Copies of this chain bind each other. A is one copy, B any other.
Amino acid sequence: MVKSIPYSAVKTEGFWKKRADINRESTIPTIYKRFSETGRFGALSCKLEEGMPRPHIFWDSDAAKWIEACAYSLRQNPDSELEKQVDGLIDRIAAAQLEDGYYNCYYIPCELQNRFTNRDNHELYCAGHLTEAAVAYYETTGKDKLLNVMKKYLELIIKVFVTDDSASFSTPGHEEIELALIKLYELTGEEKYKDLCAHFINTRGTSEKDKGTRDWTGPDYDQSHKPVRELREAVGHSVRALYLYSGMADLARHTGDKELIKACKALFDNINLKRMYVTGGVGSTAHGEAFTEDYDLPNDIAYSETCASIALTYFCRRMLLLEPDSKYADAAERAFYNCVLGGVSLDGRAFFYVNPLEINIRKHELRKKYYNRRENLLTQRIEVFDCSCCPPNLARVIASFGGELYTKDENTVFAHHFCKSTAEFDGIKIKQDTRYPAYGDVRFTVSGLKGGTFAVRIPGWCSFATLNGEALPKETVKGYIYLDVTEDEQIFDFYFDMKPRFVAANPAVDSDLGKVCIARGPVIYCMESSLNGGVKPGRISVDTNAVFGCEDDEETGAIKLTVKAFEDAESDKLYYDYTAEKKEREIVLLPYFAYANHGESDMAVWLRMA
């Protein structure tokens, strides 16, 4: 069976090290401060004292993700002060756990009598995140206090949901615990956790108890509209969906369940071929934070939640364990370098929950003022949201990126992602020297794999690559080139050509008709008016034969592009016979992940073709 090489085995440098440093120095403390101020951490004691805000049903999960992020960060950068902060939170949780194992910072003080009665109220989702945090913190520190809290709580959950079937519902309204249970199973080897995961997954979409009563959406909102093995299209709340699909892939890996694997593959293909933004964002609509239908990918009202894109990377990572196919790593890479990183400011202090691919401030204000439309557009990242799932989710992803790079199957090591780093596992050492994503040269120095195979992903975006100075043949096996390792220490020098590209969307995507976006390597670019003398991107058209200027950009760690384009000529008339008259002008493009870091601005990923 293919196994993950965990983040703990990989020391990252370069681009991702810089992001991890910002994460550790700015993001994690910023979230700590904000969660403390908003009462999220105080609430963990489950006492509703005078002056404290009423906890929200998902506050446990916010704290849990922050703890998990700390666990990953502490592994590479021990920090006793931070560890003390985490221990303090865990002490609160442990002290508040009820005798029978129950723990939930909302239900205990607010309406304990109603626990396990409202499927929409995130209890199992919170338990899942706390389980993930417990596993991660135990793995880093060896401390098992939170782990034991969760084991005890899970005994209760097994009793209530399996043994007694006494809850008012059968499966989580917000999936997440499924993948957490597999993590705990993999840590402990205890079958009961895998069994509980299987119970939730197999029961989903089949239970009378779960027939919803929501009036504003159907059972597809939380993927309860049919048994999971029959799912073929990604529907409903996108984070819920992708956490479920991740859990399904996890379970299938341990059971070999062919029907489950078939569903997972179909769901991935549906997203990858029809329901994903070019930035790796998913979930087009704010209404239900949900997937809609094939090719419906509006840019200006895109929801594209940060957490959904993160969840997509989780699903991809798990699919890679089922089947080494570069389409999974390609999709994950698309999400990482675009939508996911775009969710946090370059200084690590502020966040986007929603990641549109177009910002037209005036249009948006006109729609609000005159057209009775209520969608909210944030044009600046903010430090905390009422629903603050994204910031700590980003923190845990960035702190553990090293875990994305490799998987291993018997004698084959798969390199999925490119990142300056050193990995050591199973007597094998792999060093990556690369300036990725700024440049496409990647030198692997592989030791300890003599007689084995080293499989390297050729990125889907790359149309020309060399290995040790020679052009690579086009033929790969599902996107990987398999290399025999014949030396004790062997160097593989890859070069992935990163000439900037004009990318088109399938013409079924109405929103992108007549437009291209600009990509370089895995990075998708955008044009902001703030960096272009105030010119609105809509007035610009690009010549698809144009040559780009490339410049190192320290701020983003990627390349800044310039290109000659055209600006539509002004006129004092409203309508006039068309003439091809246009002003030539150079435009500056920055990576999408760096948008909204240079003042409030109009922005567009997709630009018209001249």
Smallest Cβ-Cβ distance to A581: which chain B residue: B504
Partner of A568, one of B278, B366, B507: B507
Q: How far is the CA of A361 from the CA of B463 in the complex (A)?
A: 38
Question: Is A363 at the interface (CB under 8 A from chain B)?
Answer: yes
B residues near A501, Cβ cutoff 8 Å: 577-578
* Interface 9-mer from A70-78, A282-290, A424-432: A282-290
Given A538-B513, A580-B544, A503 contacting B575 (CB threshold 8 A): yes
Given A360-B510, A507-B568, A371 contacting B287 (CB threshold 8 A): yes
Contact mask for chain A residues 415-447; partner B; CB cutoff 8 A; 1 contact, 0 none: 000000000000000000000000000000000
Partner of A514, one of B366, B514, B570: B514
Least Cβ distance of A144 to chain B in Å?
A: 45
A285 touches B371 (CB 8 A): yes
Question: How many copies of this chain sit in the oligomeric assembly?
Answer: 2
Question: Is A506 at the interface (CB under 8 A from chain B)?
Answer: yes
A residues 571-586 in Cβ contact with B at 8 Å: 571-580
Question: Is A412 at the interface (CB under 8 A from chain B)?
Answer: no
Partner of A506, one of B575, B579, B609: B575
A503 touches B578 (CB 8 A): yes
Contact mask for chain A residues 586-605; partner B; CB cutoff 8 A; 1 contact, 0 none: 00000000000000000000
Among A290, A510, A570, A578, the one with the most B-chain Cβ atoms within 10 Å of its Cβ is A578
Question: Is A272 at the interface (CB under 8 A from chain B)?
Answer: yes
B residues near A507, Cβ cutoff 8 Å: 539, 568-571
Question: Is A276 at the interface (CB under 8 A from chain B)?
Answer: yes
Question: Is A296 at the interface (CB under 8 A from chain B)?
Answer: yes
Question: Is A17 at the interface (CB under 8 A from chain B)?
Answer: no
Q: How far is the CA of A363 from the CA of B286 in the complex (A)?
A: 16
Question: Is A450 at the interface (CB under 8 A from chain B)?
Answer: no
Question: Is A54 at the interface (CB under 8 A from chain B)?
Answer: no
Least Cβ distance of A345 to chain B in Å?
A: 26
B502 touches A577 (CB 8 A): yes
Least Cβ distance of A358 to chain B in Å?
A: 11
Question: Is A80 at the interface (CB under 8 A from chain B)?
Answer: no
Question: Is A493 at the interface (CB under 8 A from chain B)?
Answer: no
B residues near A580, Cβ cutoff 8 Å: 544
A292 touches B366 (CB 8 A): yes
A575 touches B539 (CB 8 A): no
Least Cβ distance of A610 to chain B in Å?
A: 9
B285 touches A505 (CB 8 A): no
A residues 290-321 in Cβ contact with B at 8 Å: 290, 292-293, 296, 301
Q: How far is the CA of A608 from the CA of B511 in the complex (A)?
A: 13
Question: Is A47 at the interface (CB under 8 A from chain B)?
Answer: no
Smallest Cβ-Cβ distance to A217: which chain B residue: B370
B residues near A574, Cβ cutoff 8 Å: 272-274, 276, 505-506, 509
A371 touches B301 (CB 8 A): yes
B372 touches A287 (CB 8 A): yes
Given A371-B285, A371-B287, A575 contacting B608 (CB threshold 8 A): no
Least Cβ distance of A471 to chain B in Å?
A: 18
A505 touches B575 (CB 8 A): yes
Q: How far is the CA of A304 from the CA of B537 in the complex (A)?
A: 27
Q: How far is the CA of A578 from the CA of B278 in the complex (A)?
A: 13
A residues 469-511 in Cβ contact with B at 8 Å: 501-507, 509-510
Least Cβ distance of A547 to chain B in Å?
A: 15
Contact mask for chain A residues 345-380; partner B; CB cutoff 8 A; 1 contact, 0 none: 000000000000000101100100111110000000
B544 touches A608 (CB 8 A): no
Smallest Cβ-Cβ distance to A271: which chain B residue: B574
Q: Could you list 26 examples of A-B contacts with CB < 8 Å?
A: A273-B573, A273-B574, A274-B574, A284-B370, A286-B371, A287-B370, A287-B372, A288-B370, A290-B370, A360-B510, A362-B510, A363-B510, A463-B577, A501-B578, A502-B578, A504-B575, A504-B576, A505-B574, A506-B574, A507-B568, A507-B571, A509-B574, A513-B538, A513-B539, A514-B514, A516-B578
Given contacts A293-B370, A362-B510, A501-B578, 15 further A-B contacts (CB under 8 A): A272-B574, A273-B572, A284-B370, A287-B371, A287-B372, A292-B366, A292-B370, A296-B366, A360-B510, A373-B373, A463-B577, A502-B578, A503-B577, A507-B539, A507-B568
The 10 closest A-B pairs by CB, nearest first: A507-B568, A502-B578, A504-B578, A292-B370, A514-B608, A287-B372, A285-B370, A516-B578, A513-B538, A296-B366
